[in-house]
Amino acid sequence: MKILHLRLENFRGIRELDIDFDGKDADIFGANGTGKTTIANAVTWLFCDAPATEEKDFSPKTAGAHDLHHKAEMTVEKDDGERFTFAKDYYEKWTKKRGSASREFSGHITDWYVNGVQQKKKTYEETIQQATGATIEQMKMLLIHGYFPQTMKPEARRTVLFELCEEVNDEDVIRENGLEGLSGVLLRPGTTDEHYSVDEYKKVAAAQRRKLNKELDTLPARIDEATKALPEDGRELAAIEADLKTAKETLDQAMAATSDAKHPEGAEVAKAVLAGKEAELKAKQAAYDAEAAKKNADAYDAVSQAKRERDEHERAATKAAEEAKRVRETITALKAKRDALLEEYAEVQAEVWSDAQEFCPTCGQHLPDGKIAEFRQSFNERKSARKQHINTEGQQCSKDKIAELDAKAAEQEALAAEEAQKSEEAAKRATDIEAKIQTPPPFEATEEGQEILAGIEKARGSLRGGAIDAEALAKAQAAEDDARAHLDALTAEKVAYQAAERARARIEELRAAQKKDSSELDKIEAGLDLCDRFIRAKAQAITRSVNKHFKTVSWQLFKEQVNGGLEQVCNPMTKNTAGEWVEYKSSNTAAQVNAGLEIIDVLNKHFHTNLPVIVDRAESVCKIAKVSEQTIRLIVSAPDGTLRVKIKED
């Protein structure tokens, strides 16, 4: 696409300018401030609604000018010969409020034109995108010199550059750099054909490494603590258990001797008799109580039934009383609402149309008759609507509604009183039945009970009557105590032995865990190393693939970090006079201009576009880069007090 003609009117200090480019390259000369950059701004503003200078809040207005139309118009020709004329008209909007004699500024308006016909902005942009074959964002990359290398976000810049390069295949990178082991490292656990991506694996491995390092940091201290807790070498378990067996037998013999000393000959017979009598008392007492309960079973059932009826009537009385209370509260609320609505209705009924409402509240002038009639009708309609609303609300709290609720409350109150009376009657019936129940005397007071108790007392007397050898009993108890103490000591020795065995087993577990964690950590470190080598190799391959499209520009797509990792960047580099690659932002003007031209040329080929190129500050470049697109150079020339255009002939 080439620019055939450009016309500016009241555009950023240029009162009127017509340039016939006729699709050819051109040099525009002028001293500082004559409007060279304004031409560049006008062209990019027409193409992509942004100035070449990338200033924010761009306006084509001439400073200090008012009530003027600021216009830019451009005729272009596509490579197939089709022509388009795009124009914009930017002007101030002034409005006069009703009743005011003066106008007020209320903003700016932009009109959009395609081939002399005014269009909506969306249609304008769709047409210019169709004509250029580029999106608005792509036009900014191709027309605004520093937009792609400086203004665009690095992520967006990388996306475009990656579209330029051939796809870098992971398998090729692995094979060419001897990284065959990476496939096994990336295999997901428990699968045979599912793999992590490199980024996914690095995240998983980093988390595992942190966990393993934390465990390895604590394991030596835990092993040392368990080792210090081990007792000194003692006897074998078999010897301890043999002594335990002997000690238990000795204790059993000592306990038997103590029992014999406590109960001389004949005591065992007395003990047996006592036990038999006590068992007989317990059995006879249970049978006696069961017979008494059987005789009063009907009376107890009648008491239970009366108490159940008492509870049921009491619950019914409570429920009815609560319902009556709720209804009374509703009646109170409805009466209050009815009083309020009656008061509101009286206020609305008292409202009347006044003469004061026939005058304008702003200017004080008397309103036209038609307007007064309209306002009066509106007043009456509002008054009628409010009365209707009050009547509708009043139906919910009418006298009939309140009377109905009052009857319901009285009904529930009567029901509550009736149920309460029935509950009292049932309670009295239960009390009367309980009073008639005869309770028999306890079994111990009966003749048979007294006989059994006498037998028990006789057996106890016989047991107490045996003579006990105090000296023999003391010796037997001392022997039992010694045997028990020896058994306890041996039991404690066995427990300590078992605790030591568990401690030794735990130490071995910790050492095995330490060895396993160290092995796992080595594998993870090796896997992360393979990933880093792969990332670097792929980064180099991608960088080479991108940079082969450029001659004077080199793209730094990855940057080494202090921690050894790679940061994704997108920094353009140019060569300085010493042949060293330096960042674009640090390059001299000539290097930046030529780098920008090459970037635009490469992007035009990539997007299959052919937009014209405008080179500002062209006087700073001794040898300007050759591009295939129409080129318009803006050159500072002190002798040229007004713009001078030189069209280059083919």
77: CATH: 3.40.50.300
Instruction: Name the H helices within 296-368.
Output: 297-350
In a domain, 249, yes or no: no
The angle, 0 to 180 degrees and rounded to 10, between the axes of the packed helices 198-228 and 470-547 is: 150
- Coil, helix or strand at residue 330: helix
In a domain, 568, yes or no: yes
pLDDT at 276: 87
Q: What is the pLDDT of residues 511-533, one digit of tens each?
A: 999 999 999 999 999 999 899 89
Strand order in the sheet with 631-636: 613-615, 631-636, 26-30, 644-647
pLDDT at 76: 97
- Coil, helix or strand at residue 539: helix
User: 330: Cβ–Cβ under 8 A, 6 or more apart, which residues?
Assistant: 405
Q: Which of 436, 463, 491 is the last residue of a domain?
A: 436
User: 429: Cβ–Cβ under 8 A, 6 or more apart, which residues?
Assistant: 306
Q: Is the pLDDT of residue 230 over 70?
A: yes
Is the distance from CB of 621 to CB of 635 less than 8 angstroms?
A: no
In a domain, 117, yes or no: yes
What CA–CA distances, in Å, run from 177 to 168, 169, 170, 492? 13, 13, 11, 66
In a domain, 538, yes or no: no
Is the distance from CB of 14 to CB of 623 less than 8 angstroms?
A: no
Cα torsion 247, 249, 255, 261: sign = negative
Answer left, alpha or beta for residue 337, where phi above 0 means left and psi between -120 and 50 means alpha.
alpha
Span of 106-110, 276-280, 417-421, 571-575 with lowest mean pLDDT: 276-280
- Kindly report the average pLDDT of the chain as a whole number: 90
Q: Is the pLDDT of residue 467 over 60?
A: no
Long-range CB contacts for residues 156-164, cutoff 8 Å, separation at least 24: 157/570, 158/557, 158/568, 158/570, 160/603, 160/606, 161/546, 161/555, 161/557, 161/570, 162/542, 162/546, 163/606, 164/546, 164/549, 164/602, 164/606
Please give the Cα distance from 631 to 462 (Å, whole number): 136
Query: For the CA atoms of 102, 108, 114, 116, what is the dihedral angle to 10 degrees?
Result: 20
In a domain, 336, yes or no: yes
Q: Which of 436, 471, 500 is the last residue of a domain?
A: 436
Please give the Cα distance from 455 to 172 (Å, whole number): 107
Is the distance from CB of 51 to CB of 41 less than 8 angstroms?
A: yes
Stretch 561-567: mean pLDDT: 80
Tokens of 37: 């950059």
In a domain, 221, yes or no: no
Please give the Cα distance from 240 to 617 (Å, whole number): 102
Is the distance from CB of 596 to CB of 141 less than 8 angstroms?
A: no
86 burial level (CB within 10 Å; 0-12, 13-18, 19+): buried
Q: Which amino acid is at 427?
A: A
Is the distance from CB of 610 to CB of 3 less than 8 angstroms?
A: no
Q: Is the pLDDT of residue 69 over 60?
A: yes
**Are 302 and 427 found together in one domain?**
yes
Query: For the CA atoms of 100, 103, 108, 109, what is the dihedral angle to 10 degrees?
Result: 80
- pLDDT-derived band of residue 466, with 50, 70 and 90 as boundaries? low
**Are 563 and 429 found together in one domain?**
no
pLDDT at 264: 60
Q: How many domains does the chain have?
A: 2
Smallest Cα–Cα separation from 201: which of 182, 215, 178? 182
- pLDDT-derived band of residue 105, with 50, 70 and 90 as boundaries? confident
Q: Is the pLDDT of residue 8 over 80?
A: yes
**Are 144 and 9 found together in one domain?**
yes
Q: What percent of the chain stands above pLDDT 70?
A: 98
Stretch 375-397: mean pLDDT: 91
Q: What is the pLDDT of residues 114-165, one digit of tens each?
A: 999 999 999 999 999 999 999 999 999 999 988 999 999 999 999 999 898 8
pLDDT at 12: 93
Please give the Cα distance from 307 to 304 (Å, whole number): 5
Q: Which amino acid is at 102?
A: S
Please give the Cα distance from 592 to 580 (Å, whole number): 15
Place of tokens 């008639």: 436
Please give the Cα distance from 145 to 620 (Å, whole number): 15
Q: Which amino acid is at 240?
A: I
In a domain, 582, yes or no: yes
CB atoms within 10 A of CB 351: 11
Three state DSSP letters for 406-446: HHHHHHHHHHHHHHHHHHHHHHHHHHHHHHHCCCCCCHHHC
**What's the start-to-end Cα distance of the chain, in Å?**
16
Q: Is the pLDDT of residue 266 over 80?
A: no
Place of tokens 């105590």: 481
Smallest Cα–Cα separation from 17: which of 54, 72, 76? 72
In a domain, 82, yes or no: yes
**Are 432 and 575 found together in one domain?**
no
Stretch 20-37: mean pLDDT: 95
539 burial level (CB within 10 Å; 0-12, 13-18, 19+): middle
- pLDDT-derived band of residue 464, with 50, 70 and 90 as boundaries? low
pLDDT at 370: 85
Is the distance from CB of 326 to CB of 408 less than 8 angstroms?
A: no
**Are 27 and 154 found together in one domain?**
yes
Q: What is the pLDDT of residues 301-330, one digit of tens each?
A: 888 899 999 999 999 999 999 999 999 999
Tokens of 74: 């451009």
Is the distance from CB of 62 to CB of 13 less than 8 angstroms?
A: yes
Smallest Cα–Cα separation from 422: which of 525, 320, 547? 320
Tokens of 376: 């009066």
Please give the Cα distance from 17 to 20 (Å, whole number): 10
pLDDT at 483: 92
Please give the Cα distance from 46 to 570 (Å, whole number): 29
User: 632: Cβ–Cβ under 8 A, 6 or more apart, which residues?
Assistant: 3, 21, 25, 26, 27, 28, 39, 43, 612, 613, 614, 615
Tokens of 361: 């509240």
- pLDDT-derived band of residue 546, with 50, 70 and 90 as boundaries? very high
Q: Which of 407, 436, 465 is the last residue of a domain?
A: 436
Stretch 468-482: mean pLDDT: 86
Place of tokens 């050898």: 469
**Are 19 and 159 found together in one domain?**
yes
Domain extent for 110: 2-165+552-647
